[in-house]
Amino acid sequence: MASTDHFSAQNLFGAKDFVAVVTGGGTGIGLMATQALAANGAKVYITGRRLEALENAAEKHQPTSGSGQIIPVGPCDVTKKEDIERLVVDLSKREKYINLLVCNAGIPGPKAEPKYSEADDLKAQLWNTEDQKDWQDNFNTNVTSVYFTTVAFLPLLQSGMEPKGPLEPFSSSVITISSMSGIMRHAQGHFSYNTAKGATVHLTKLMSAEFQKAGIRVNSIAPGYFPSEMTAKSSDERQKSHVPPEKIQEKEHVPLMRAGREVEMGMTVLYLAKNQYVNGEIIAVDGGVLNVLAGR
């Protein structure tokens, strides 16, 4: 039975001796996840297409105390199997196991706002604004790469169950970063992105059921509006982005009337990383948006 001391935040969410890999870890939600893990003792390898951004993020955001580390590796384009395999081979030379994979890399995709009620006008707007290749690129990055990245890391994840003694299933896990957009029915002009994120949600459920046979949990975080290069269109010299409250308030469907705070994302990452009794869940961290827009 657990004593009261077992319920300390350090025992509940400490990540000492954890080894994690975060794709797209140099900016936005990937960097938030990285900071949360490293601040609580994890060794976090961050990867992405821009090595300079990864190195800058690691330099600017190293923990000031504790055993946590942020280590850039790559570059790696997760839409290319050869890049993913090269990354796995590299990390296999450095580590005997990983405890956590965060599949965060993603792109926004094309936008075409359906503004017309007349079918001819609606067709012209959507048909002429979007391209099939953009849809395919979007799906490839937001869905296909999540699948192949997870599959590539399965052996290292399974090895993460063994280092501390007897085999304990479900101690290693994957967190996919989907989106509230993959749950809601409001397209927001992002038919391609929302469809892809909906597929990420379902892929997470499929992988959670199939990969639990290997003792590996898979869950997803479905973020609402968080400061990132995707939402803010830019980042500063510390790889950080800012979304002013008034920009969120203009949307008129965010009850908290602000973007999510970085630490709120960090709390969710630690929860899913540490709670072995959670598997196959999609956790919306959206400020209540899905209570306003049709979705669940």
Residues 237-246 have a mean pLDDT of 88
Q: What is the pLDDT of residues 67-112, one digit of tens each?
A: 999 999 999 999 999 999 999 999 999 999 999 999 999 998 888 8
Q: What is the pTM of this model?
A: 0.95
The total number of structural domains that make up the chain? 1
Q: Specify the length of the chain in residues.
A: 296
111 is catalytic: no
Residues 6+ apart with CB under 8 A from 80: none
Set 43, 197, 240, 274: catalytic member: 197
Which CATH number do you get for residue 195? 3.40.50.720
Residue 51 has pLDDT above 60, yes or no: yes
197 is catalytic: yes
208 is catalytic: no
Residue 133 has pLDDT above 90, yes or no: yes
Report how far residue 4's alpha carbon sits from residue 68's, in angstroms, rounded to the nearest whole number. 26
Residue 54 has pLDDT above 70, yes or no: yes
- pLDDT score of 164: 55
Residues 263-270 have a mean pLDDT of 98
Set 171, 173, 178, 220: catalytic member: 178
Give a yes or no: residue 2 inside a domain.
no
Q: Range of 53's domain?
A: 9-291
- pLDDT score of 209: 98
Report how far residue 29's alpha carbon sits from residue 31's, in angstroms, rounded to the nearest whole number. 5
Give a yes or no: residue 181 inside a domain.
yes
Give a yes or no: residue 282 inside a domain.
yes
Q: What is the pLDDT of residues 178-203, one digit of tens each?
A: 999 999 998 888 999 999 999 999 99
